[in-house]
Amino acid sequence: MQFSANLGFLFRDLDLPDAIRAAKRQGFTAVEMHWPYDTDVSAVTAALAETGLPVLGVNTSRGNVEAGDFGLSALPGREAEARAAIDQAVAWAVATGCRNIHVMAGKVQGEEAFATFVANLRYASEAAAPHGIGILIEPLNPRDAPGYFLIGIPAALRVLEATQGAVKIMFDCYHMQIVHGDLLTNVKRLRDQIGHIQFAAVPDRAEPDHGEVDYGWLLRAIADTGYAAPFGAEYRPASNSFAWMERFANGR
């Protein structure tokens, strides 16, 4: 079983190139990032080449965080900003060999927002496809992301239907446990529509070795279904221990 370090949460005391190197030393086989755009991309690509780690994903910009933005692509009237954020992410992904872009929807509701999101996702897919880059959407939970456009699996499936195979789901076990539970059944049901799987302890989003979900069992069960990509460790560390990695790799 392989794991990807989400450097949006892990190794935050280091600059991004050194965080990539730390992930390699710790035994991660891939990395993923939130918003790396303030870091010199040449320094990132040098660290990736040095370590041999692939980048599995990056997010589009949240927008104006101080004004409450948490993504742009479902916000009517802000299409130009949303597409500029998509272009930024595509250019970064091409430069680094990043495999997927998570297009963030934003905090908004309604049918106009749905149409806006679908149109921007089609734009993202057309921009990314020539480079072999996948487009992901991530259903969140309403406790951590109140007001977010995409809450839960049914909302994500409606978007997938409207985009006709242009996007896939980033299935974050933390969010989906809070909203739906029954994680293995949902992963099996959505197997062909999932582009990446992430995990963290529920309910505290810390190390995945405690809480409601037995990840030592769950991730092995998902791997047994044929899922062979690295699982994304997207948790907020409460300690400096990575003991869970060896336990999970050994089936405990």
Residues 6+ apart with CB under 8 A from 105: 71, 73, 74, 113, 117, 137, 148, 149, 150
* Bridge partners for 119 per DSSP: none
Cis status of the peptide bond prior to 203, with omega within 30 of 0: yes
Active site residue 138: yes
Tokens found for residue 185: 């059944």
Residues 6+ apart with CB under 8 A from 71: 60, 62, 63, 103, 104, 105, 106, 107, 148, 149
Which among 81, 112, 138, 246 is annotated as catalytic? 138
Active site residue 32: no
Alpha-carbon distance 186 to 201, whole Å? 18
Residues 6+ apart with CB under 8 A from 97: 48, 54, 55
Whether 25 and 56 have beta carbons less than 8 Å apart is answered as no
- With DSSP H G I counted as helix, E B as strand and the rest as coil, what are the percentages for the chain, rounded to 5? 45, 15, 40
Q: Which residue has the tokens 């242009």?
A: 166
Which among 207, 212, 234, 246 is annotated as catalytic? 234
According to DSSP H, which parts of 146-224 are helical? 153-163, 173-179, 183-189, 215-224
Q: For residue 233, what is the DSSP state?
A: E
Q: Which residues are catalytic?
A: 138, 234
